[in-house]
Amino acid sequence: MDPLKIHFEVDGEDFSSAGEASVEMKKKLRQLGIPADVIRRCSIAMYEGEINMVIHAHGGTADVEVYPDRIVIILEDHGPGIPDIDLAMQEGYSTANDRIHNMGFGAGMGLPNMKRYTEDMTVESTVGVGTKVTMTVKL
Amino acid sequence: MTASEVASLLSLKSICVPAPEREVLGGYTGDLLSWVMGRAKPDDAWITIMSNQNIAAVAMLTDVSMVILAENVAPDAGVAELCEAKSINLFSSELPAYELCVKLEKLI
């Protein structure tokens, strides 16, 4: 069976509206009758990804695929890439600047939260080309 | 206890209250948004001094039942409207976050 697919463009310029794709996804998953806990985990994981794309990569795309047994979220950007993925995955490690900190972000918890809330997460990144994060949450 | 009952007992100032009957089961305080995303539980009252638009998205995505801005922090322009649209209860208090937590703990 083909999955239900939802596509979002994440605007990299407008920091204050970051999160709109996640909020929209949450509404759509609610309409589909997905369990609340699954929706919460998907939404938080996607929001963290969205924020990362806004902070580091001037935006990107988010694709959500809803299968009968799982939800897959694919985040893709053409930002600077992540030189050391293991280091980026460590709680507390961040390259965000003071402006980002003042907005309440840059705690180095984004990628760890995404991993925490999903059953499977893979990060593919090439410096100078971009980053692709694929997350799976089981239903 | 509902969000409006908590607000009344803590003498909070209402900024927008689109869902007064939301149940409050616990509390969380913090200003680093990813930390809040990772730790706050559904139906918590979230106490913070962060006032920008991102608090509306964080509150909605974590399913907290109310946001309380401590220390008389005022929400940035447009935040109240955003909370109203997303059905987020937003309050403020002159008390520091610590005192709000202590008082909340005694209520729930």
Summarize pLDDT for A76-97 with one digit per residue, the tens.
999 999 999 999 999 999 999 9
Integer angstrom CA distances of residue B47 from B8, B34, B68, B81: 16, 15, 5, 19
Tell me whether residues A48 and B37 touch, CB distance under 8 A. Answer: yes
**What is the domain range of residue A117?**
4-138
**What is the domain range of residue B56?**
3-107
Summarize pLDDT for B13-43 with one digit per residue, the tens.
999 999 999 999 999 999 999 889 889 999 9
- Tens of pLDDT along chain A (139 residues)? 789 999 999 988 777 778 889 999 999 999 999 999 999 999 999 999 999 999 999 999 999 999 999 999 999 999 999 999 999 999 999 999 998 888 889 889 999 999 999 999 999 999 999 999 999 999 9
Phi, psi (deg, nearest 5) at residue B83: -65, -40
A34 and B CB contact within 8 Å: no
Summarize pLDDT for B66-105 with one digit per residue, the tens.
999 999 999 999 999 999 999 999 999 999 999 999 999 9
Q: State the total domains in chain B.
A: 1
Q: State the total domains in chain A.
A: 1
Closest CA to A111 of A80, A84, A139, A71: A84
DSSP code at position B12: P
ipTM over 0.90: no
What's the rounded Cα separation, in Å, for the pair A8 and A64? 8
What's the rounded Cα separation, in Å, for the pair A49 and A43? 10
What's the rounded Cα separation, in Å, for the pair A8 and A18? 12
CATH number, domain with residue A69: 3.30.565.10
CATH number, domain with residue B77: 3.40.1390.20
In a mutagenesis test of the B interface, which of A22, A29, A44 is the best target, namely the one with the most B β-carbons within 10 Å?
A: A44
